Each structure stands twice: as C-alpha cells, then as structure tokens.
Amino acid sequence: MHGDPRKVVYPTDSYGQFCGQQGTPNANKAILFYFNILQCANPTVLINLQCPTTQLCVSKCPDRFATYIDMQYNYRRNKSYWDYYKLFCKPGFNNPDKPVSQVLQNEDCPSMIVPSRPFLQRCFPDFITRNGTLTVANKTSFKDGHGKIRSVVDLRDAANKVTAMQQGTESGITSLLDAKEVGVKIFEDYASSWFWILIGLVISMLVSLIFILLLRFTAGVLFWMVIFGVIAAVGYGIWHCYWEYSSLKGKPDSDITISDIGFQTDFRVYLQLRQTWLIFMISLAVIEAIIILVLIFLRNRVRIAIALLKEGSKAIGCIMSTLFYPIITFLLLALCIAYWAVTAVFLASSGDAVYKVMSTLPDCKYTNLTCDPETFSQSNVTKLCPGSQCTFAFYGGESLYHRYIFVLQLCNLLVFLWLVNFTIALGQCTLAGAFASYYWALRKPADIPPCPLASSFGRALRYHTGSLAFGALILSIVQFIRIILEYLDHKLKGAHNAFTRFLLCCLKCCFWCLEHFIKFMNRNAYIMISVYGKNFCASARDAFFLLMRNVMRVAVLDKVTDFLLFLGKLLISGSVGVLAFFFFTRQIPVIQEEVPSLNYYWVPLLTVIFGSYMIAQGFFNVYAMCVDTLFLCFCEDLERNDGSPSKPYYMPPGLHRILNKTDQGGKKYAVS
C-alpha cells in the first residue's frame, strides 16, 4: 500500500519529483543535477543523508566550465550563453538581469557548472587521471562562482560523499567508477559471447541427456568409466600444475604472493605466479587422494550403489518425462523469487516524502528540521534564515508501520523461504509418486499407469498440499534462524567477547546439522506421502523407523550414490568447461575465426561451467530422487511381502540379490 518502486528506479529532486518518470514534466529529464556539488563535502551529508544544495532534474549534464557571474557578463553580447546556462536553472526562471547575490541566495541558478557525465543517474564531474594528476576537462582548478579558485580534488571529495550517501558506504566514487568500468567490460563480453554461451549450455544439456540414456543400458560400465575418467583428469591436472610451477621458477616477479598483488580483473596475472599453481596442485592432490581412498574402502558398496543406479535408469527409461520436470521447478522458483523481490522493493520504498529545512547560512538553527513545503513560505523560518528552502530529504516516516519495516522484511524473507521449500517439496513428492508407480507395478512396464508424472503431480496438489506446506515450514523456520545467526555473527565481527562468539559458533553448527537432518527426513517423508498418502507427521515417523531398521543399507545409498552422481556432474561440467576453454582461448583451429573478441575470456568460461553444472544437477537430482524412492520402496517391499505367490516381491530378482544379499527358501519374485 505504501510502497512505490519508482523511488528505487528514479532519483528524486528537491521538490520530491521523480527524474525521468513518464507522464510528468520530468519525463525527458532523467538525470539529477546538483546546483553546488561542493556543498556535499560537508561531513553532515553522511549523517543526515542529504546534500545541502538544490537538486534538479535535467536532460543532460553540463559539458563545460562556467559561472553565473561570467554568464551574466557575456550574455548581453551573445544570448547563447544564457540559453545554455538556463538549462540548469529552476524551471520557469528566465531573468538573467536579476542581481547575482539574489539569484545565488535563492538558488534560482547554480553558481557554477562543471563538465560532468551521468553516473548512477546523477551528474558527477568528469574525472580523468592524466600522468597521475586528477583533472576535469584537462583542468586541475576552476572558479567556484563566489570569487574563489578551487582544486578539482575538492570536487572529488564532494563526489565521494554523494556516492557514499547513495551506496550507504564510504567506498568513494573512484572505486565505484573502477567497478563500473569492469562491469561495462563484463557486459560487453556477455553481449558478444551470449550466443556461444547458449551453445555451450545446449551442449551440456545434450551431454547430460545422452549420459542418462546411456545409463539405461550401460550403467555399470559407464559409472566405472566416469570414476576412472575423473581420476585420470585430476591426475593430469596435478601434473600440469606441477609443470607450470616448475617452468615459472626463476622468472622475474613469479615469486610474488597473491596477497601482494590483491584483486585483479585480468586473471592471467595470477597465472604468472608460482603460488597460484602451487595452490591448484595441492587442492587437486587432496581431491585425488579423497577419491582414491573412498574407492578403496567402499569398493563393495560402490558396486551395490551402481546396481541401484542401474535400476534407477530403468525406471527413468520407462518415465522419460521425469527428466524434464526440473524445468517446471525452475519456473516455479522464478515466480517465488520474483514475488519476494517485488515485495521487498515495495517494502524498502515505502514511506511518505520527508522535507527538511536547507539553509546556506551556517548559523541557522532550523537547518535539517522537518518542514511542510506548502506552508513553509508563511513560516518564520524564511525571515530568520533568509534564502532557506524546504526541500525533499528522503522517503520515510515516524508511524508505527514505518518503525517495523525491518520486521516486515524478515517476514517477507520467511515467506520466501517457505515458498521455495514448498516448490522443492512439490517436485520431490511428484517425482517420488511417479517412480513409486513404477516400482509397485507387478509387471513392468505393462502395469505402469498412463501419464504417471502428470497423475502424481495432480495427486500432490489435490491431496498433499498441506503436508508439503507443513514440512516446508519446519525447514524454513530452521533456515530463517540460521540466517539470523549469520546476521548476528556479521554484526559481532569486531566484538571481543570470546564467549559470545563461541556460543554463536556452536549455535550455527547445531542449526546447520539440524537443517541437513530435516532436509533428509523431509525428502523421505515426501516419498512415504506419495506411496501411502498419509499426513506429514505420520509419513515422517514411518520413514524414520523404516530407515532405522535398514540403517546399514541407508549408509550405502545416501553417500555412495551421491558420490557417484557427483562424479557424473563433475565430469559433464568439466568436459564442457574444457571445450569452452579451448574455444574462447582460440585453441581450436577449425573455428578459430568465429571466436568473439573478449576483454575477459573467463567471463563466458565461468558462465558455461556454472551453467553446465546446474543443468547436470537438474538431471541428476531426478536420478537421485529415483534411487531414493526405489530404495524406500524396496525396504517396504521386504517388510510387507515374503516372496510367496500370495505376497510376491515387486522388486526385480537382481536388485534383491544385491541389496538383500541372501535368497532364502526359494523365494519367488514378481515378473519384471
């Protein structure tokens, strides 16, 4: 009700009007201009969040040095002086013969203008550093319009204060301009390489899909190829890092540390340091050791996990539509993010316009007091402080509602977490229902119901919405508490109370463990919901005790299969990343001429690698959900049935032999 996103999009002038807003007199004036930006160097700017000078919406920034005094002296000979200068005066003012003292006191026009360029939709002096000297339009000094010669360093200090006020930090305009330059280069790289990035992501999707389809027939061979392929790739990486480390020995500046050079936008600088390759080599060696140790000590369980993945590939092969369900989840998550973002913007921009007294007199006692622009001209302030104005300061208020904006933002965050977790829960329950219909089909695939994924989605929405929402709420509350703890930890960074920091660290650790345990239990509870249709609490209880009765099998499933699937995701994203690296560094002769010219080749490269991993994650999450569902159904099948003709097993014989290890009494199996 009280929010207005225009406050975030458009800057606001001294009259509380938005610059650049369509349908207003400022529609073609999208840039905010400060009459005297030197006034913004006042230390009170960061305290009051208000620059004590008139701010006006203009269509373009000034492109020359000029003062009102010089303009008034020259305009009688050439009217163009006034025609240009009045663009930066108050609307409606057209009296260049008015005494200078009155014009400057009433701030009808700025006392000076300096060459500027738009930045953050505001006119900032056009700073250029030449040979280590700060200049504006090749000048190091200028007239301030009051008879003084000022240095451009004063303009920089004032611009720093304005930037800090807008950003809520004292970082200064210089660093922001550097960040803007980097941002522009990154945007240019995306603009010139987006087509090839898209091709890389399509290749990743095709590779992931082909990988899943190959698992249908060659799961065992393929996973062993993945395992040894990852080992070989990491081993090659270790050798390459050692070779680079050795080749840089003795080269000038190669022994400089990363901390000495700081952050560099050109990553090639880091590749010239021996320390960089040493870090890479140690990291890869640790990863290689972990993979080999896991395979040595868990080799038997790896075989069992591969058998589970084989059965999972059969289920996915019968219900291929499940591979594309992550697209629905992605769209629903996009809606959740959009809802949260819009609500957050409306809350952040809520409030009424607050006006404050602004005076050029240093001893005016009414400065920074709130005022009403409609009645200000009749007040005593204008008499006691001549030239003072009632100008817009910010949007806010002192009502009960405005004092609880932060609390409302926290509520919005909790709702956002709840919606995201509900969307994920809906996807898990839908996929579990589809794969459960595969498992409990006596004759596979003849007895699988038609459209199992759509039917499962409809059941989840019609019958299980409350259970899914309840499970999502429990998880959201824990995540919400974790976010608050992280916020408190950030606020207490400088605190010297060791006990408080220790207690906070313990709480963060406990809630991290609790969150992961609830995620694990919710996932299995949703599987039981899709199988039996019970409520969340009953399903969570049944899932917990079922897992406890099969705790050794759970250890096999939960970690080893996740490890194998992780290797698959790593192989897909890594192989596509290597291909993208050779392409963007022009090392593929056949299509070398097609490579776009880039400022930073790592921008599209990292985008392709990250996007490939997320695409592989979407496909393999379906696979992981399939394996989890089949495992719980297998455990339930063992307890409900005994293999007799009246109670036959629904599992395939091969899966029973591997997971149950024993085959007693000539048990009979359902036809598969």
pLDDT tens by residue, 643-663: 778 888 787 766 666 655 533
The single-letter code of the amino acid at 207 is V
- Which pLDDT belongs to residue 514? 94
513 and 607 assigned to the same domain = yes
Rounded CA gap, 403 and 458, in Å?
43
Kindly report the number of other CB atoms within 10 A of residue 122's CB atom.
Answer: 21
Q: Which domain-ending residue is among 122, 140, 171?
A: 171
- Which pLDDT belongs to residue 168? 47
Place of tokens 């249709």: 533
Rounded CA gap, 27 and 202, in Å?
42
206 and 89 assigned to the same domain = no
pLDDT-above-70 percentage for the chain: 86
444 and 472 assigned to the same domain = yes
More confident residue, 473 or 318: 473
- Which pLDDT belongs to residue 267? 63
Look at 20-24, 143-147, 169-173, 580-584 and tell me which has the smallest mean pLDDT: 169-173
Residue 180 forms part of a structural domain: no
Mean pLDDT over residues 17-29, rounded?
A: 82
More confident residue, 235 or 366: 235
pTM: 0.71
- Which pLDDT belongs to residue 179? 57
Mean pLDDT over residues 250-277, rounded?
A: 71
Residue 595 forms part of a structural domain: yes
Count: domains in the chain: 3
Residue range of the domain that includes 29: 9-171
pLDDT class of 617 with cuts at 50, 70, 90: confident
- Which pLDDT belongs to residue 170? 42
Which of 5, 102, 132, 111 lies closest to 54, judged by CA? 111
Q: Which domain-ending residue is among 138, 156, 171?
A: 171
Examine the pLDDT at 615 and tell me if it is beyond 90. no
Say how far residue 239 (Cα) sits from the centre of its chain: 35
Task: Rank 5-9, 261-265, 471-475 by mean pLDDT and report only the highest.
Answer: 471-475
More confident residue, 351 or 142: 142
More confident residue, 237 or 515: 515
Mean pLDDT over residues 44-57, rounded?
A: 65
Residue 82 forms part of a structural domain: yes
DSSP tag of 63: -
Residue 1 forms part of a structural domain: no
Examine the pLDDT at 153 and tell me if it is beyond 90. no
- Which pLDDT belongs to residue 47? 43
Look at 166-175, 249-258, 491-500, 539-548 and tell me which has the smallest mean pLDDT: 166-175
Q: List pLDDT tens digits, range 447-496.
A: 788 889 999 999 999 999 999 999 999 999 999 999 999 888 887 776 66
Residue 412 forms part of a structural domain: yes
Look at 140-144, 342-346, 455-459 and tell me which has the smallest mean pLDDT: 140-144
Residue 176 forms part of a structural domain: no
Give residues with Cβ within 8 angstroms of 107, minimum separation 6.
35, 53, 54, 90, 360, 387, 389
338 and 475 assigned to the same domain = yes
Which SS3 state, helix, strand or coil, does residue 94 take?
A: coil
Say how far residue 164 (Cα) sits from the centre of its chain: 23
Mean pLDDT, the chain, integer? 80
- Which pLDDT belongs to residue 227? 78
Look at 126-135, 330-339, 503-512, 556-565 and tell me which has the smallest mean pLDDT: 556-565
317 and 199 assigned to the same domain = yes
Mean pLDDT over residues 268-286, rounded?
A: 82
DSSP tag of 76: T
- Which pLDDT belongs to residue 323? 84
Look at 43-47, 106-110, 123-127, 363-367 and tell me which has the smallest mean pLDDT: 43-47
Per the document, the length of the chain is 672
pLDDT class of 249 with cuts at 50, 70, 90: confident
User: Tokens in use for 548?
Assistant: 């406890």
Q: List pLDDT tens digits, range 85-105.
A: 888 888 888 888 888 888 887
Q: Which residues of 225-250 are buried (b: 16+ CB within 10 A; e: fewer)?
A: ebbebbbebbeebbeebbebbeebee
More confident residue, 506 or 39: 506
pLDDT class of 511 with cuts at 50, 70, 90: very high
The neighbouring-strand residues paired with 111 are none
- Residue 149: which H helix or E strand, with range? strand 149-151
Examine the pLDDT at 19 and tell me if it is beyond 90. no
Radius of gyration of the chain (CA): 34
Residue 177 forms part of a structural domain: no
Which of 48, 56, 106 lies closest to 85, judged by CA? 56
pLDDT class of 530 with cuts at 50, 70, 90: very high
- Which pLDDT belongs to residue 43? 56
Rounded CA gap, 18 and 7, in Å?
7
Which of 474, 472, 476, 482 lies closest to 428, judged by CA? 472
Which SS3 state, helix, strand or coil, does residue 387 take?
A: coil
228 and 338 assigned to the same domain = yes
pLDDT class of 534 with cuts at 50, 70, 90: very high
Examine the pLDDT at 44 and tell me if it is beyond 60. no
More confident residue, 216 or 101: 101
560 and 613 assigned to the same domain = yes
pLDDT class of 542 with cuts at 50, 70, 90: very high
Examine the pLDDT at 10 and tell me if it is beyond 80. no
CA distances from 296 to 293, 299, 357, 502, 563 (A): 5, 6, 76, 38, 14
Which SS3 state, helix, strand or coil, does residue 324 take?
A: helix
Mean pLDDT over residues 516-525, rounded?
A: 93
332 and 357 assigned to the same domain = no
Q: Tell me how many helices (H) and strands (E) the chain has.
A: 22, 13
More confident residue, 538 or 244: 538
Which of 132, 138, 95 lies closest to 115, judged by CA? 138
User: Tokens in use for 121?
Assistant: 């939709």
391 and 483 assigned to the same domain = no
Look at 27-31, 258-262, 524-528, 606-610 and tell me which has the smallest mean pLDDT: 258-262
Rounded CA gap, 423 and 594, in Å?
41
- Which pLDDT belongs to residue 431? 94
Residues 431, 456 contacting (CB under 8 angstroms): yes
Q: List pLDDT tens digits, range 154-183.
A: 777 777 666 655 554 444 445 555 555 666
Mean pLDDT over residues 611-622, rounded?
A: 86
The neighbouring-strand residues paired with 133 are 130
Examine the pLDDT at 362 and tell me if it is beyond 60. yes
Residues 117, 126 contacting (CB under 8 angstroms): yes
Residue 2 forms part of a structural domain: no
My answer on whether omega of the bond before 449 falls inside 30° of 0, hence cis, is no
- Which pLDDT belongs to residue 660? 57
Angle at 493 between CA 161 and CA 507, to 5 degrees: 140
More confident residue, 514 or 37: 514
More confident residue, 515 or 672: 515
User: Tokens in use for 240?
Assistant: 């390459």
Maximal CA-CA distance, the chain: 115
pLDDT class of 671 with cuts at 50, 70, 90: very low
Rounded CA gap, 60 and 128, in Å?
19
462 and 324 assigned to the same domain = yes
- Which pLDDT belongs to residue 263? 60
360 and 454 assigned to the same domain = no
More confident residue, 597 or 181: 597
Mean pLDDT over residues 518-538, rounded?
A: 93
215 and 74 assigned to the same domain = no
